[in-house]
Amino acid sequence: MSMTERSSEPHAADSHDLIRVLGARVNNLKDVSVEIPKRRLTVFTGVSGSGKSSLVFGTIAAESQRMINETYSAFVQGFMPTQARPEVDVLEGLTTAIIVDQQRMGGDPRSTVGTATDANAMLRILFSRLGQPHIGSPQAFSFNVATVRASGAITVERGARKAEKATFTRIGGMCVRCEGRGAVSDIDLTQLYDDSKSLAEGAFTIPGWKSDSFWTVRVYAESGFVDPDKPIRDYTKKELHDFLYGEPVKVKVDGVNLTYEGLIPKIQKSFLSKDREGMQPHIRAFVDRAVTFTTCPECDGTRLSEAARSSRIGGVSIADACAMQISDLAGWVRGLDEPSVAPLLGTLAHTLDSFVEIGLGYLSLDRPAGTLSGGEAQRVKMIRHLGSSLTDVTYVFDEPTIGLHPHDIQRMNNLLLRLRDKGNTVLVVEHKPETIVIADHVVDLGPGAGTAGGTVCFEGTVEGLRTGGTITGRHFDDRSTLKETVRTPKGTLEIRGADRHNLQNVDVDIPLGVLVVVTGVAGSGKSSLIHGSIPRGAGVVSVDQSAIRGSRRSNPATYTGLLEPIRKAFAKANGVKPALFSANSEGACPECNGAGVIYTDLAMMAGVATVCEECEGKRFQASVLEYHFGGRDISEVLAMSVVEAEEFFGAGEARTPAAHAILGRLADVGLGYLSLGQPLTTLSGGERQRLKLATHMAEKGGVYVLDEPTTGLHLADVEQLLGLLDRLVDSGKSVIVIEHHQAVMAHADWIIDLGPGAGHDGGRIVFEGTPADLVAARSTLTGEHLAAYVGS
């Protein structure tokens, strides 16, 4: 065979152009097999809960990351999070996966946009080199580093031992008063107790603190530190200090050993460490009343010590630089001509340009990371990868269009295509037709959600999807129409002089009793207006997508309070106590402590979770499962989906109105497919938000604020959401929705549009009125896109 003949055959290395998945069974996937082309853009579609994330994140990305981790030495693996192998028969052709998901940035009070990217680290080095006066190393500009001084003797045990005197100083940039948080919290004592009464007369006004309660009130009354019969206002200085700030000490009350500690630390531990969202409404109201956050007076909210703020480059301190809008900061960095730090300036300018390019130029580096929306957090994570010279990487995106105005989606599409054109495989989980359209290959999962999903309904091109007859294909070109008539407001919520973040002294009247949509390009000030400026005490219930604090033992039944009436019903029917029907209490299987699985830790190898043999994963003792209610035991009830359970508790001998009402609300918000016992840690951002909405719907609050409720919703489910919003308004509630989805805008009674741009180009109201007027005027970006959408 001659050389020319041999070279015409394909090289063996080029035959691996597919990622092949065979027999995936993660979560609800039913033996799914797909072939995904490499170096192309593949979009995964399907209704919420159909198994998209299980396939893309739980199978492909998880296995890729696990295999990369295994290339490190055992020593290094010991420091890395361990992952079990996903349930799948064959995975071939995987490449390195980089996951860009919507997990909110950590809510740590010290985390900012600058610290979450590398921008702050580079700025600190810049100031430590060029800042005048010179105050120290880069640590001296970090608000996460406290200044430390120590001196003493140090003994080095080597050869002849001898003690040496050593002094140690580390200069940090943390503000001493607020410890780098930028805000100080004060607890309003008048909300905790009535100082004209004594403890014996019931001075405490803290919810749940009854005067005969052993653990709370009696510990104070019988501790011996204070006189229980003396009004609190007459306490001596020492008594008041012990009462409010006393260190924890053991005391005996009625022969029982209890811990006594001051009221302030006790309140901080018992109320302030809990997730505000998960609190009962009256407790949440108490916390909002009792705790006030004020800007730290010493550092003026910059988080930095006086020394760190005094060092300047050309009159600009590091606090000023972090407070600038990133697009302006990029210009300032370019203007610095300093050969000694040229490589640093180049990298810093590139990072800041990436912010601007991805549409986040309106942020500032000192913005707390916890205040970013899911979409913003996702785009901040993308910044690292934009300038990367890696190719043949698999990028995995989870709904990259979240938080993006139709105007911004085009820009995001260009970024995805650019990543693909560099020779990468791009996998995107997405619902918006504007992004599905650019796909080279589409995988549609379904047909339903939960147990009714988990199969591949269609693979092919976008054109094939349109005519393929799947739910996604049928709804692909759905367009909502404007309402014929809009509702009349029943009153207004007044916002006056709002100037938070980039708002420019905004005055607006939000109509009540109707469906109001607040819109505008990303960064125009929507969240600042609604979350930051609505007056306190307006009876507002806010529902967002932030993570729900809870362990893998938490599930929809525990979170919504549904388990309570179910346990009571079981207990009443069987004449036993309710605690038996809780897998976290007396009814738990003794072998696995009610977790249903037994975890075996294998040091640096991935731990193995095996189903508990004793209870077969049911989480309860065998004796508990002998108690039946309506012909089912408690584990069978927890395995039901919301829809099944709603039917079960709705009629017949298992009729339980309290449980049925909660299940009805869960079905209303489109979570009918969730099983009652599914761990909360497995829910997506949109599912978490809808779960919170279902929980809040029972409350008496008159004004609901929803932040992008269409997140994670399939086109077919958006109609159901609009029906739910209508029902909420018709039941007398006022609903304010921050949203970019044109179907929701078209359905609104009143639209408030912010803009015209982002950052300091935004922060003004550019339109308020009905959707029909907005479309007719076409005076704003939103108006143009909405007009095109409704085809007028």
For 742-760, how does the pLDDT look when each residue is reduced to its tens digit (9 = 90+)? Answer: 999 999 999 999 999 888 8
579 CB neighbour count, 10 Å cutoff: 13
What CA–CA distances, in Å, run from 77 to 72, 94, 304, 598, 603? 6, 21, 36, 22, 9
Q: Are the C-beta atoms of 621 and 607 separated by less than 8 Å? A: no
pLDDT at 467: 92
- Residue 423: pLDDT band with limits 50, 70, 90: very high
- In one letter, which amino acid is 618? K
Region 426-453: what's the mean pLDDT?
94
Beta bridge partners of 704: 541, 735
pTM of the model: 0.82
Per-position b or e across 586-614, b if 16+ CB within 10 A of its CB: ebbbeebebbbeeeeeeebebeeeeebee
Region 158-166: what's the mean pLDDT?
79
pLDDT at 256: 82
- In one letter, which amino acid is 616? E
pLDDT single digits (tens) 330-343: 999 999 999 999 99
Q: Are the C-beta atoms of 479 and 490 separated by less than 8 Å? A: no
Cα–Cα distance for residue pair 290/284, rounded to 1 Å: 10
Q: Are the C-beta atoms of 535 and 495 separated by less than 8 Å? A: yes
Residues 6+ apart with CB under 8 A from 7: none
Task: List % helix, strand, coil for the chain (3-state, nearest 5).
Answer: 40, 20, 40
- In one letter, which amino acid is 206? I
Q: What are phi and psi of 295, to 5 degrees?
A: -60, 135
pLDDT single digits (tens) 179-209: 888 888 788 888 888 889 888 888 888 887 8
pLDDT at 605: 61
pLDDT single digits (tens) 253-307: 777 888 888 888 888 777 766 666 667 778 888 888 888 878 899 999 999 999 9
What CA–CA distances, in Å, run from 444 to 46, 188, 409, 459? 5, 54, 21, 6
- The conformational region for residue 403 under phi > 0 = left, psi -120 to 50 = alpha, else beta, is left
pLDDT at 14: 80
| 3 state SS of 211 | coil
Please check the confidence at residue 6 and state whether its pLDDT lies above 60: no
Burial class of residue 361 (count of CB atoms within 10 Å of its CB; 0-12, 13-18, 19+): buried
Helix axes 374-386, 406-421, angle to 10 degrees: 30
pLDDT at 159: 76
Q: What are phi and psi of 263, to 5 degrees?
A: -65, -45
Closest CA to 511 of 176, 302, 769, 789: 769
pLDDT at 4: 47
Dihedral sign for Cα atoms in the order 731, 732, 738, 741: positive
- Residue 371: pLDDT band with limits 50, 70, 90: confident
